[in-house]
Chain A
Amino acid sequence: MKKYLRYELKKNRNALIVLTVLCALIAGVVMVNINLFSRWPAYTESGVRVEGEYRIVNGDGGLSFFCMTLALLCVFVAVYQYAFKMKKRSVDAFYALPIRKEKLYFGKTLIGLLMVFIPYTVAYLLGITIVLCRENYFHLGWYLPYYFASVGLGVCLYFFYAFIFTRANTLVDGLVFMLGWSFLFELATYFICGALSESFGLSALAEILHERGYMDFEYMAIGGLISVETAFARLLASGTLASFRPQALLFSLLCGGAAASLFFLLLKKEKAENAEQISSSLWGYRTLIPAYLTLCVALTGNDPLLNIVLLAAGFVGYVVYRRSVRLKVADWISLAASFLAGLLLMGLI
């Protein structure tokens, strides 16, 4: 195992260096140029302008930039590390090696996490150093706990995307799955909240699920990272945190934990012959297309034109899935059932 890890590390060394340099460069440019604070005219309590005095309004200290960098790294590295299982040639090479699949994937995961967190850490340290060198009014102590919080949530995000991506048998399918699962829970909870308040009079419960009446990021895998970033940006700027909704954080931790467990548990079912074949996993098109069609029809209302567009989109989804315009009977049934389910659920909101 040690020799294999050394090999993986050596093989990925150049990619790691490139990623690190790239992230550091972008972080350097961004952190040198962002507004760390802005000056606004100062007023007395009675609303009279105090000449020559200004109040300082802090920015987010670059945390949103670091958050996005980490999220992008998680997605990119997950694709980079596990794309091997989508090519027959590489599957033959790796699965013929004298190493158990669990260890093979564990090694790839470990190196993948290094490829996420080394560039992230270097960029983060460089970013903070730049902030320290510039005029700022932050409560700088919050940079440290944010780093550790973001690393934990980054691990969850990495596992989420690694699990989703590896359900596919081709690179394109993997990317579609990642995109699909990124928004599905948010869409579903938005619908559920609408139904709870409109049809069941449970507005309080809906409020617990979704703070506002519109879609945001709370039930996306990245939601925890964004909510923690927002909280720490406030702490960094003012030193206090008026309120914090834990829903997004809990959802991300749950997603990450479940994805990590399933990622290793389902390895036993992994079949080499699936590489390059149609991605027929239940974690893919078979769930995503009906779920999106149902939710979209239910949420968009009774507009015939829009319904036709959504049905057509569902059909295109199955064409992408089957790589053929000749759909199976099961696909037509799924399309029809999802559409009808959407029409039925429409009445709930």
Chain B
Amino acid sequence: MIEVKGLKKGYDKKAVLVDMNLRVQSGAVFGLVGINGAGKSTLLRTLAGVLKADAGEVLFDGEKVYENVAVKREIFFLPDDPYYDTNVTAEGLADLYRAFYEFDEAVFDGFVTEFSLEKNKPIRNFSKGMKRQVFVALALACRPKYLLLDEAFDGLDPLARLIFKRGLIELVEEKGSTVVISSHSLRELEDICDSYAILDGGSITSSGDLNEALAGVCKLQAAFSGEVREEDFDFPCLLFEKTGRVVRIVVKGDREEIVKKVGAMEPIFVEEIDVDFEELFVSEIKNRGYLR
């Protein structure tokens, strides 16, 4: 289990993470979302033991991570812009991780084949997506107990995303690994994450079980004979969109009660639509005053 207790981290005088508390259960696939500059990368770098917390602590199974080799051996951190030497090949990069992890050659070779990568060609000649594929293969081949992924799907094509997601699920099922993923591809996260946290201004504004969170929000589409404004609803809308006389609203609260209230406004029709993670995120962010 990963526990973050009262974590503070700043650069110079600028606070990036402010008194952050978080708990990620073992075996979870945890989605970390937030707008740019929310502190996702800083949190992941601190979780990986790259950065030292200014205050508070980061614990993996009760052990502090910073400068703790035994704990770090269980963690693989894949940053948003991973490092490679100018002339290094995928095989050369694998050498680095072979020196530190129980590297599974079969898994590595399997992903290299699936992604159609050439192991002995310099990575610098690869496209952005191919470079990402190399690091995905390396991350999964290290079979870590904790996998920390920053902007995990960035640059990957739909097929590569599918292979990657399958690889992650296999890792979790096989090894009981815990995966923390930050990404702006919320639809991808929704596919594989069972829990989530939304970061804003250096702290967690919302977190928990993803399905429960989605169940706690309902999205309705209704058409009215007359003009309807957001103020006409006697409950707060997380999201309000209007196209002509058709209105789409996302609302937090008891589903039946909300449907009843909308029904009382005598719409021409009203239907319930599934809410996805992206809508949940956007509505949360809107609530924080970022979108108007």
Contact = CB atoms under 8 A, between A and B. Distances in A.
Contact of B48 (A14, A89, A96): A96
Interface stretch (B21-29, B78-86, B117-125): B78-86
Contacts of B81: 89
Contacts of A98: 69-70, 72-73, 75, 100-101
Nearest to A97: B100
Interface of B: 11, 45, 48-52, 67, 69-70, 72-73, 75-77, 79, 81-83, 85, 87-88, 92, 95-96, 98-101
B100 A273 contact: no
A10 interface: yes
A76 to B, nearest CB: 17
Interface of A: 3-4, 6-7, 10-11, 14, 87, 89-101, 271-273, 277
A36 B76 CA distance: 59
Residue with the greatest number of chain A CB neighbours at <10 A, chosen from B70, B79, B92, B96:
B96
19 contacts: A4-B99, A6-B99, A11-B85, A11-B88, A11-B92, A11-B96, A89-B79, A89-B82, A90-B83, A92-B48, A92-B77, A93-B79, A93-B82, A96-B76, A96-B77, A96-B79, A272-B51, A272-B52, A277-B11
Contacts of B77: 92, 96
Given A7-B95, A11-B96, A96-B79, 4 more contacts: A7-B98, A10-B95, A92-B79, A272-B51
Contact of B45 (A7, A100, A272): A272
Contacts of B100: 3-4, 97-99
Given A89-B82, A93-B82, A101 B95 contact: no
Contacts of B88: 11
Contact of B99 (A7, A92, A277): A7
Contacts of B11: 273, 277
Contacts of A272: 45, 50-52
Contacts of B49: 95-96
Contacts of B67: 100-101
Residue with the greatest number of chain B CB neighbours at <10 A, chosen from A6, A91, A95, A101:
A95
Contacts of A94: 83
B52 A92 contact: no
Residue with the greatest number of chain B CB neighbours at <10 A, chosen from A3, A92, A93:
A92
A96 B67 CA distance: 9
A90 to B, nearest CB: 4
